[in-house]
Chains A and B, each alone.
Chain A
Amino acid sequence: MSTDTTERHLADEAARRAGAYNRSLIEASLDPLVTIAPDGKITDVNNATEKVTGRSRQQLMGTDFADYFTDPGKARAGYEQVFREGLVQDYELEIRRRDGHVTPVLYNASVYRDEAGDVIGVFAAARDISERKRAEEKIRKLNEELDERVRRHTAELEATNKDLEAFTYSVSHDLRGPLRHIDGFSKLLFEEYSADLPEEARRHLSRIRDGTRRMGMMVDDLLNLTRVGRKELSMQLTGLSSLLEEALGDLQPETAGREIEWRIGKLPFVECDPGLVKQVFANLLSNALKFTRLRERAVIEVGETTQDGRPVIFVRDNGVGFSMKYVDKLFGIFQRLHRPEDFEGAGIGLATVQRIVRKHGGRVWAEGELNKGATFYFTLEAVQSRPGESNSLPRGAA
């Protein structure tokens, strides 16, 4: 044997080995691999391709690549793009197996060339994304279920709200009726037969009327509270100073004949429901007036301060105050910290304040000291700074 022959033999052997090595790599791949000629015919496949198509190598070789997809047009457009541009990445297709089973895949493909550098085909590798698709589907289903559940709960809530509304209406109409009658007839009894009644009977009668009046107030306050809960906020940019003034005007009867020092600070413009926020001022000021009644000189202060960089409105008085021990009870419905003979009230005013402030996304809290006074603070989430200030917190358009 000549050296030439030996060398060629050795080279052939090396090439054969390299080929076998490459082939086994290709066959070992779990990704379906395929090569495609410029006319779209399949020129090579691996094991994984046989599996995913349900066809043997012999059946696949020389057939149209595009024929094995749910959307042949898109498959054709895919390899045409590779021939045109050199490669495609993450090209989504669905392979249809012989038995109809569909596998979603992402194709990554590029051209390959001969020694002269001419393109002779496309090498395409598919990545099975069934798992991902299943997961996506699962998430979609879960989201749908969640949506459905939210819809159902919302519907239930709406139904409950409707029931509440009906209840409120019937309280309004039905409970006030009998109260009116008790008050009316006891008044008539008092007026027309007072002369015939012993002193004690007259006193009992006046107690009946007091009770009726109190209950009337409670019913009205409760109705107002539920009305606040149901009301849709109608927001507009409002100067709090003018709301405060309006509220003060309405309180004239309660301030008449009293010595009161008002310390009214500058208040900001805020995006809020003016009707409701006026109620906040009205309730807080009415409380301040009520609980300073025993002071020779009442001092009531209203102003703006900041906490953690946010504007906070406060109403402060030098009245009887309260013990911080009971601060948690302050805003509860029907919660009262004073005896009814000392200070009247149904215990709904601050609950209403809290409901209004919360509806605005804000917070209300209080500080107090027994016999020294009380301060109520509240924020309205949408508080805007005065024009000209830079550290505004715009929410919604001004």
Chain B
Amino acid sequence: MIRQDVEILLVEDNPDDVELTLHALRQERLANRIEVARDGEEALDFLFCRGPYAQRSFDQPPRVVLLDLKLPRMDGMEVLREIKKDPRTKAIPVVILTASKEESDMVNGYHLGANGYVQKPVDFDDFRNLVKQLGLYWLVVNQPPPAVAFQAK
């Protein structure tokens, strides 16, 4: 059976950013299955297998969540908090991918349990390089959490 697991969940509201990120990921042929959530609620629906994603299963979490901070309705920090407080999702690696380099954002992000914090560079070559490294690390180098890590105690 061909695994159709989503490898990367990209939480990003800006269509230009979505397109540039997808372009970079595809160019490097790192990710086959990328899901894009356009706001925080959509991201949580996906991760918690509810609403339009009710048929999904908690057994197939994405390998990494790339999370923008400034999102409509529910912002990135809220999303992060929800993910990290639920035993079914807290082991999912979440990397904050944002324009902000505000110290307070970095502190809050790490305090809430973010697994990484990356600032989007202005230069597209730099950005492409960064997305490549992120993909390489989280999809190839990193050992994903074993299944038991997602079970509620």
Contact surface of A with B, Cβ cutoff 8 Å: 169, 172-174, 176-177, 179-181, 183-185, 187-188, 212-213, 216, 219-220, 223
User: Judging by beta carbons under 8 Å apart, are B102 and A184 in contact?
Assistant: no
Chain A residues near B132 (CB-CB < 8 A):
none
Partner of B102, one of A172, A177, A216, A220: A172
Contact present for B99 and A177 (CB under 8 Å)? yes
Binary A-proximity of B92-103 (CB < 8 A = 1, otherwise 0): 000000111110
With a CB–CB cut-off of 8 A, which chain A residues contact B100?
A: 169, 172-173
Residue from the list A169, A188, A212 in contact with B122, Cβ < 8 A = A212
18 contacts across the A-B interface (CB closer than 8 A): A169-B100, A169-B102, A173-B99, A177-B14, A177-B99, A180-B20, A180-B127, A183-B122, A183-B123, A184-B16, A184-B20, A184-B127, A187-B124, A188-B20, A188-B23, A212-B122, A216-B122, A216-B123
Does B59 count as interface, using CB distance less than 8 angstroms?
no
Count the B residues whose beta carbon is within 8 Å of the partner chain — how many? 18
Contact B101 A185 (CB under 8 A): no
Q: A180 and B122: CB pair below 8 A?
A: yes
Q: How far is the CA of A179 from the CA of B99 in the complex (A)?
A: 11
Tell me, rounded to whole Å, the shortest Cβ–Cβ distance linking B15 to chain A. Answer: 10
- Tell me the smallest distance from the CB of B62 to a CB of chain A, in Å: 24
Question: Which residues does chain B contribute within 8 Å of A184, judged by CB atoms?
Answer: 16, 20, 23, 124, 127
The distance in angstroms between the C-alpha atoms of A309 and B127, with both chains bound, is 51
A193 to chain B, nearest CB (A): 14
Residue B63 interfacial (CB < 8 Å): no
Q: Give the CA-CA distance A172 to B100 in the complex, in Å.
A: 6
Complex: A174 Cα to B99 Cα, angstroms = 8
How distant is the Cα of A187 from the Cα of B122 in the complex, in angstroms? 12
> Are A185 and B102 closer than 8 Å at their CB atoms?
no
For the complex, is B88 an interface residue (Cβ under 8 Å from A)? no
Indicate if the CB atoms of A183 and B124 lie closer than 8 Å: yes
B20 and A173: CB pair below 8 A?
A: no
Is there contact, CB below 8 Å, between B17 and A173?
Answer: no
User: 8 Å CB contacts to A: which residues of B1-39?
Assistant: 14, 16-17, 20, 23
Distance in angstroms between the alpha carbons of A173 and B98 in the assembled complex: 8
Residues of chain A within 8 A of B121, CB atoms compared: 180
Min CB–CB distance B105 → chain A (angstroms): 9
Smallest CB gap from B69: residue in A: A173
Q: Within 8 Å CB of B16, what residues of A?
A: 177, 180-181, 184-185
User: Is the Cβ of B17 less than 8 Å from the Cβ of A181?
Assistant: yes
Q: Chain B residues with Cβ under 8 A from A172's Cβ?
A: 99-102
Specify which chain A residues have a CB less than 8 angstroms from the CB of B120 in the assembled complex.
176, 180
Q: Which residues in A have their C-beta under 8 angstroms from that of B70?
A: 173
